[in-house]
Chain A
Amino acid sequence: MEITTTRAMANITYREALNQALAEEMDRDETVFLMGEEVAEYDGAYKVSKGLLDRFGDRRVVDTPISELGFAGLGVGAAMVGLRPVIEFMTFNFSLLALDQVINSAAKMYYMSGGQISVPIVFRGPTGAALQLSAQHSQACASWYVHAPGVKVVTPATPADAKGLLKAAIRDKDPVAVMEGELLYNVKGEVPDPEDGDFVIPLGLADLKREGEDVSIITHGPTVHIALMAAQKLEKEGIEAEVVDLRSIRPLDVDTILASVRKTNRAVMLEEGWPFAGVGSQVVSIIQDEAFDDLDAPVVRVTQADVPMPYAKNLEQLAKPSADRVVDACNRVLYRS
């Protein structure tokens, strides 16, 4: 973490950390506004925007109709003339309705205008699976977004990362998707106290959530916590796993990935999304391209099963990545099974 202060940290939830980031950036910059379904009077479907309407008023905290394409595109238009919209999707699942505006408008505008019109916008909201929400409410959406050059994508796993990355995203000149873990909103963690100054995490910096010598578990978003659980289990068997949290998917901290692989010589790629053309397939491609000679075993991937998310509890558990599956994968690359 890029924080050198020795002063006290506050132990707050991921939700509160995001709320702090929004409030601080809206306070700092009058051009920042928050718009989306239920963000104002309802205080946010997941309460991330709690209290912001009271504090900033209905000019800057704006409830929309259920028109994802419309209000996402409205945000892009506002950004084209210099505002800094934060567009909340109630979940990124619904943002597929708006993907035309994200990909065809926001991502391409700066390029196809020859650098005349930048689009400093943030799209944010929960992504991935919660509990038994079934197929249409349980997909990890990073791959949809990261595929298109012109967009940046971050997937914070902890309250501190959530706050620091959202603040960086709001200040960035390009479209940034901040994908929050739906199951992470109540997770608590230490976040630097606002009294200690501005806490911003630059985009493109991975974070070693755990150091280890034997195998690298490369992951991002909610599965960081699964990786840490797996690492604890492995520790009991005498295996030290390193957990690399990418935090930012585009820009991607390739140096940290390669450094970890060069140290452990073995890698497991873990993610919440589907395998086909997933974030992990790209990471594995980079590893084989740039660190092939450092590998002692083929990289193994742990992903969501390549099916729509089932509703039944037992099937859902089978579909999601689990700590046990990560342990198995680590054993495979260690040739322990």
Chain B
Amino acid sequence: MHSFLRDMLLYRRFEEAAEEAYAIGKIGGFCHLHIGQEAVALGMIGPLRQEDYVLTAYRDHTQALAKGVEAGPVMAELFGRAGGSALGKGGSMHIFGADVGFMGGHGIVGSQIPLATGIGWAIRYRGGDEVCVCFLGDAAVNQGAFWESLNMAAVWKLPVIYVVENNEYGMGTAFRRVSALPVVERAGGTGVPAHAVDGQDVLASWRLMERLVADVRSGAGPQYVDARTYRFKGHSMSDPVSGTYRSKEEVEGRKREDDPITRLRDRLLDAELLTKKELEAMDGEAREVVNEAVRFAGESPPPSPEELYSHAYAEINEHGRLFLDGRDR
């Protein structure tokens, strides 16, 4: 359980450092922070093996870390540097770590759901026992991609676990305002079994996932999880923490009552399984890892200009032009 706290502290410190770096212009573009949702990433990814797969949407830094992508390359990717996990070509929304089964952050709401379904298809095609976990936001359940994917996964009994990070808001629109039914009921009609869990409770999330992963590995078919959580920051860095769509009181209340890190910390302290000194040391370690990641990112050079055309295609054909402006590629 100490490791749970250590990991979640790392995620929190990483995101805080990203927020700071964004504020001083080291990070550009969109940057969606995961602060407040750490227990979902850890609880849902922790029980996986390295050869299992994870895909997610654009709020992807923490899931990448949880699946085993190193903090340095993730931060360097946010900085747009050559040492980034995608060589600086993906940025915040597209962290990849194929070697550890992290199959990417994806920027179009719902677009990763069919991809995860396809990875599940490939696992079954090859007769393997890996599992694919697909994170999606609550807003993504209103995409056709969601319905189409769950239907096919159910028909073909694919080894995919669809985890809704239900933080109650799709950007600035409260889920309840735009959905006919609660998240947990949205898989209804596809035959995919639905489970709800307190996503701010890392132990509950981990236990549920342990069970589901074992079931899916032994052929139970797809599963659907409503992981109830809350984001403490805005939708992205351009969105204030509280604004037109949710009150300051609401956010402050949730931060006070429902912080997954505070909740685990207090549980451990109360049970005397953790001392304040140990806690401080743990937090210090997390900060050191993040500082090192920031240092690595800062020292990594920008991608060289030749990289503009590289990796657009995996195979450059012998004949013909692939790039109409790249005669001298």
Q: Which A residues have a C-beta under 8 Å from some C-beta of B?
A: 33, 59, 64-65, 67, 69-83, 85, 100-101, 104-105, 109-120, 149-150, 152, 172-174, 202-206, 248, 250-254, 282, 286
Contacts and interface: CB of A to CB of B under 8 A. Distances in A.
A116 B119 contact: no
A67 B319 contact: no
Contacts of B107: 104
Interface residues of B, number: 52
5 contacts: A76-B114, A104-B107, A113-B96, A116-B86, A204-B318
A70 B96 contact: no
Contacts of B314: 110, 115, 118-120, 173-174
A70, A71, A75, A80 — most chain B CB neighbours (10 Å): A70
A248 B323 contact: no
A35 B152 CA distance: 12
Contacts of B148: 65, 67, 69-71
A101 B114 contact: yes
Contact of A74 (B87, B117, B318): B117
B121 A74 contact: yes
B80 to A, nearest CB: 12
A76 B111 CA distance: 11
Contacts of B115: 73-74, 76-77, 80, 101, 105
Interface in B290-329: 310-315, 317-324
A114 B317 contact: no
Nearest to B77: A114
Contacts of A33: 125
Most-contacted residue by chain B among A85, A203, A251 (CB, 10 A): A251
A118 B204 CA distance: 36
B311 A251 contact: no
Interface centre among B117, B151, B155 (most CB of A within 10 A): B117
B260 interface: no
B37 interface: no
B62 interface: no
Nearest to A250: B322
B116 interface: yes
B159 interface: no
Nearest to B108: A104
B125 A77 contact: no
Given A59-B125, A83-B125, A149 B323 contact: yes
B103 interface: yes
Given A65-B151, A116-B99, A117-B104, 11 more contacts: A64-B152, A65-B155, A69-B114, A69-B145, A70-B144, A70-B152, A80-B115, A85-B118, A101-B111, A109-B104, A112-B94
Interface in B97-142: 97-99, 103-104, 106-108, 111, 113-123, 125
A64 B121 CA distance: 13
A33 B118 CA distance: 12
B315 A251 contact: no
A114 B320 contact: no
Nearest 4 CB-CB pairs, A to B?
A77-B118, A73-B114, A204-B320, A70-B148
Given A70-B117, A78-B118, A113-B86, A149 B312 contact: yes
A78 to B, nearest CB: 4
Contact of B90 (A65, A101, A114): A114
B222 interface: no
B84 interface: yes
Contact of B119 (A59, A78, A113, A254): A78
Contacts of A204: 317-322
Given A80-B103, A113-B86, A70 B321 contact: no
Nearest to B113: A73
A79 B319 CA distance: 24
B85 interface: yes
A67 B87 contact: no
Interface in B42-63: 53
Given A73-B115, A116-B96, A117-B103, A202 B152 contact: no
Most buried by B among A76, A80, A100: A80
B312 A111 contact: yes
B221 interface: no
Given A73-B149, A105-B106, A114 B323 contact: no
Contacts of B85: 114
Given A70-B148, A81-B53, A81-B119, A112 B89 contact: yes
Contacts of B116: 77
A254 B148 CA distance: 41
Nearest to B87: A114
A114 B96 contact: yes
Contacts of B122: 77-78, 81-83
A161 to B, nearest CB: 14
A113 B322 CA distance: 19
A149 B323 CA distance: 7
Given A77-B118, A252-B324, A173 B315 contact: yes
Contacts of B155: 65
Contacts of A173: 313-315
Contacts of B72: none
Contacts of A114: 84-90, 96, 311
A50 to B, nearest CB: 23
Contacts of A252: 320-321, 324
A65 B310 CA distance: 37
A110 B311 contact: yes
B125 A73 contact: no
